């Protein structure tokens, strides 16, 4: 009986320890989604621009990170009818530095992960309205499963798209030591520049997660800007390594999309 009770207490103790560990991990992830550096105070000449964040574009399935082709078509048509024009990352940099005048009709369109349907479905729709975009590629996923090939990425690049980094394997960066983070961050930059004639100088954090150490490694690796998954307009007063984006969810109706453009 005594042995049985001992085993029971031990089992309960292990369970409580595992629960505590899980709670700590979840809390850590929540902290890593918050800003880790203080942004500059806003001013009268602050630049504000919508940077749209998409993932998969398909009719084959539904989900928070999946926008249907009809939904994307309606959103791009709305942007076009309201006089918006897409800009490149080079133009984005000029805008943030005050070298390009902001007329309130510029939009930066981004896609995360490198899904092949961005090439087969999103590309034709954006082209129809004269838009280009930025694709944040997970370099080890290129050519596998549901992801575009380097050849397809190259075609998008030649069509005016920017091809940038989303790390090598899409990890929870802050939960890795500095060496592992550097391999993901600097390594993906090397991969991109090996396969495409691009200066890979912009990155998007997987899951939007980062720590102060992550931000430092991104800067040291030669990136100029880094985008988070924090929802909101991008402004020139934000830390250039903690830029916000507008997350476009699956099944968002057109009215919701147009309201988001007015953030």
| Structural domains of the chain sorted by starting position, each given as residue range(s) with its CATH number in brackets | 48-261 (3.20.20.370)
Closest CA to 49 of 4, 7, 87: 87
- The per-residue pLDDT for range 157-194, each reduced to its tens digit, is 999 999 999 999 999 999 999 999 999 999 999 999 99
Closest CA to 138 of 67, 68, 89, 189: 189
- Reduced to 3 states (helix: H, G, I; strand: E, B; else coil), residue 63 is strand
- The per-residue pLDDT for range 43-74, each reduced to its tens digit, is 568 999 999 999 999 999 999 999 999 999 99
- The per-residue pLDDT for range 192-227, each reduced to its tens digit, is 999 999 999 999 999 999 999 999 999 999 999 999
For residue 245 the two structure tokens come to: 């984006």
Question: What is the separation of C-alpha 214 from the centre of its chain, rounded to a whole number of angstroms?
Answer: 15
Residue with tokens 């959103």: 75
Query: What's the pLDDT at 263?
Result: 87
Closest CA to 96 of 39, 53, 135, 45: 45
Query: What's the pLDDT at 38?
Result: 47
The CA distance from 46 to 58, in Å, is 36
Q: Taking CA 58 as the corner, what is the angle to CA 57 and CA 62, rounded to the nearest 5 degrees?
A: 105
The CA distance from 167 to 188, in Å, is 5
Residues in the chain: 263
Provide the pLDDT confidence category of residue 237 given band limits of 50, 70 and 90: very high
The CA distance from 205 to 52, in Å, is 15
- The per-residue pLDDT for range 77-133, each reduced to its tens digit, is 999 999 999 999 999 999 999 999 999 999 999 999 999 999 999 999 999 999 999
Which residues lie across from 86 on neighbouring strands?
107
pTM listed for this prediction: 0.87
């Amino acid at each position: 009986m005594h042995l049985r009770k001992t085993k029971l207490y031990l089992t309960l103790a292990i369970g409580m320890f595992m629960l505590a560990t899980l709670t700590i991990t979840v809390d850590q992830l929540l902290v890593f989604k918050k800003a880790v550096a203080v942004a500059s105070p806003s001013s009268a000449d602050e630049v504000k621009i919508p940077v749209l964040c998409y993932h998969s574009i398909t009719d084959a399935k539904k989900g928070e990170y999946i926008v249907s082709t009809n939904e994307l078509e309606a959103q791009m048509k709305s942007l076009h009818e309201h006089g918006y024009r897409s800009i490149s990352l080079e133009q984005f940099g000029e805008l943030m530095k005050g070298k390009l005048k902001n007329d309130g009709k510029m939009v930066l369109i981004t896609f995360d992960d490198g899904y092949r349907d961005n090439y087969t479905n999103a590309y034709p729709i954006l082209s129809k309205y004269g838009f280009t975009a930025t694709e944040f590629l997970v370099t080890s996923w290129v050519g596998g499963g549901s992801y575009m090939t380097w050849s397809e990425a190259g075609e998008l690049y030649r069509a005016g798209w920017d091809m940038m980094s989303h790390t090598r394997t899409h990890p929870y960066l802050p939960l890795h030591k500095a060496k592992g983070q550097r391999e993901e961050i600097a390594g993906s930059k090397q991969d991109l520049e090996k396969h495409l004639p691009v200066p890979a100088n912009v990155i998007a954090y997987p899951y939007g997660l980062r720590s102060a150490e992550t931000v430092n490694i991104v800067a040291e690796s030669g990136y100029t800007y880094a985008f988070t998954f924090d929802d909101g307009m991008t402004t020139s007063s934000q830390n250039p390594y903690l830029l916000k984006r507008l997350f476009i969810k699956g099944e968002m109706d057109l009215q919701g999309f147009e309201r988001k453009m007015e953030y």
